[in-house]
Chain A
Amino acid sequence: MKEKRPLLTVSDLNVVYTSANAVVHALNGVSFSIGRQETLGLVGETGAGKTTTALSILGLLPEHTGQIRGGKIVFDDLSLLELSDVEMQAIRGKRISMIFQDPMTSLNPVMTIGEQIEEALYLHHSGLTADKLKARVNEIIELVGIGSERRHEYPHQFSGGMKQRVVIAIALACSPELLIADEPTTALDVTIQAQVLNMMEELKQRLEMSMIMITHDLGIVAKTCDTVAVLYAGEIVEFGTFNDFFINKLHHPYTNGLFGSIPDIYSEEERLHPIEGILPDPTDLPGGCKFHPRCPRVRDICRRQNPESLRSGSHAVKCHLFKEVKGYE
């Protein structure tokens, strides 16, 4: 039975990156929550703030340049932003872990994969005996579909898909409650992507985890997610359940644009319907609604005023047009 209380709640998160001559507004008031054993899809294009959201949750924003300017992150009663470094270390990798996009660069090339999995375990369970550690490492390697006899091999001896399985094994070593997967299959071929996604889904069920699936691919969202948040220029422009996104037809104009941009293999139509223009410069975001320069349904008010998030049941949309839609307030 799922608990009602969410596992993670992010509210009004504001993050900026500062450099000598510019301030990048990476996240501008991002709020969402994830229930236990739920998968949230965080969708957006390059620079929308997907990875920044993940790094903020884990307290991994680059020192000096990345700053949280406001907001709250609550994980199971713990306010993460108020924890000390030591307290955070006890959570990171144990209760919340992350899989990075590129399996080629997130493994240590001079350590065997067994050692790398062991390292994660050792850091959080220092009481384990050597035998128990070894047994647990073998168990985890088998869990992600690699023969445990390969534990003495180095990353370069594995293919891309296999490396990503190793990365997943490290992330799962301490049985986290929340797994953040940042574009976990973008670097993989489609047939391998299908294998890895399937495995992640199975493991999520078996280990009773919650998951944040960061992706730019709505197809992956449709396959894996229970709830979906669409990010644009550091704001969540639409939030809803699987049904709100894939059964109902009412969407934020940006979400509609994303759907129109994807080549549909079952459609007879030849031309795609892309979104005109490009993502705004995050050092110089437009006033009003951040999507207005590209929006096909832009109105006067969109240029002047940033819309509030309007809700109808589980569905929330940040768009002026929805003021006229029945049920949204």
Chain B
Amino acid sequence: MSEVILETRGLKKYFELGKGATLHAVDDVSLVVKKGTTLGVVGESGCGKTTLGRTVLGLLPSTGGQILFRGQDTTKFTGRQQQALRKEMQIIFQDPYSSINPRHSIRRTIAEPIKVNRIIRDGKKREEYVLELMRSVGLEPRLASSYPHEIDGGRRQRVGIARALSVEPQFIVCDEPVSALDVSIQAQIINLFMDLQEERGLTYMFITHDLSVVRHISTEIAVMYLGQCIERAPAKELFKNPLHPYTKALISAIPVPSAMARKKRAEIIKGELTSPINPKPGCRFASRCPYVSEGCKKENLPLASMGNDHYVACVLHR
């Protein structure tokens, strides 16, 4: 149960912008994901969560640090090894409209990874397998010959899920897989993710900006701010006892549909995300933090353990 499937150690992904400017998209992120669990990665736009997901998969080369997938450092893999890794690690994208080829039928879209990776060579068996996959994600087999424009967003996202599952991966990065969907459909897809995890023992890295979604699906949650992981804790613990001022602000900013929420005044933080280009030393949240002090601006604090598997990077919790 507690076997570690993926670990990142000091993972960095910088983008050189020229003229000496470097964008620190992912900066020194260390995470551990255990088999059969879900790590939720939350943060606002520009915090580096998508870049983190893609770097972990090897879709973007890392700038520094290690990515250990079942103990092997994938940053040192050759092209061929990377290709083999695709069968183990898959991704589901945010936008079901642009991540599926509009000129391929549903059947062809789902079958493609099976063909490319030469998993099932026999055409008839492959067809059976595709139909079975479709059923397992809640798609009627009669849709196999349909094209993406003929089906709605929720079904399209199911196609994306079936395609990712087709190579029977161990680990799936889900990059905002429900944020383009309507609420009633969103709930269906979240439940599907949870069912598939139970049936297949999948491990997810679930990237989203929506804390309430992540609360539901995650075993553990990592909160990111400007490329850094600033707090990490088991899901329940994080919501019960958020420590970092940014995490607190995020949680209190969620509009809750209840009468009580109206009376409670949210703790609103001022300002906006600062630039991740050539960041200054010190806590990157300092300019917006209501509890900022001199100590915040000196150096970058690493995550420190607070017990209960709870880690936080903040001067207030030393």
Contact = CB atoms under 8 A, between A and B. Distances in A.
Interface string A222-261: 1100000000000000000011001100000000011111
B184 A220 contact: no
A45 B180 CA distance: 12
B184 A222 contact: no
B44 A46 contact: no
Interface stretch (B76-84, B205-213, B291-299, B302-310): B205-213
A33 interface: no
B154 interface: yes
B255 A271 contact: no
A219 B257 contact: yes
B263 to A, nearest CB: 10
Interface stretch (B26-34, B118-126, B264-272): B264-272
Interface stretch (A64-72, A191-199, A318-326): A191-199
- The A interface, classified by DSSP as helix, strand, loop or mixed, is helix
Contacts of B186: 261, 274
Interface string B184-219: 111110110010000000000000011111011000
Contacts, number: 128
A270 B249 CA distance: 24
Given A195-B270, A274-B187, A279-B182, A218 B253 contact: no
Interface in A155-210: 159-162, 189-195, 197-198
Interface in B152-201: 152, 154-155, 182-188, 190-191, 194
A222 B259 contact: yes
**Count class of interface residues, chain B:** 35 or more
A192 B272 CA distance: 7
Contacts of A216: 182-183
Contact of A271 (B152, B182, B191): B191
Contacts of B215: 263, 265
A60 to B, nearest CB: 24
Interface residues of A, number: 46
Contacts of A260: 187
B253 A191 contact: yes
A222 B251 contact: no
A246 to B, nearest CB: 4
A190 B211 contact: yes
B13 to A, nearest CB: 21
Nearest to A162: B272
B212 A222 contact: no
A262 interface: yes
B129 interface: no
Contact of A219 (B182, B213, B261): B261
Interface string B203-240: 00000011111011000000000000000000000010
B212 A263 contact: yes
A275 B239 contact: no
B250 interface: yes
Given A159-B272, A271-B191, A274-B191, 11 more contacts: A190-B210, A190-B250, A191-B269, A194-B255, A195-B268, A195-B270, A216-B183, A223-B262, A263-B187, A263-B190, A274-B185
7 contacts: A197-B255, A257-B184, A261-B184, A263-B216, A266-B256, A272-B187, A278-B154
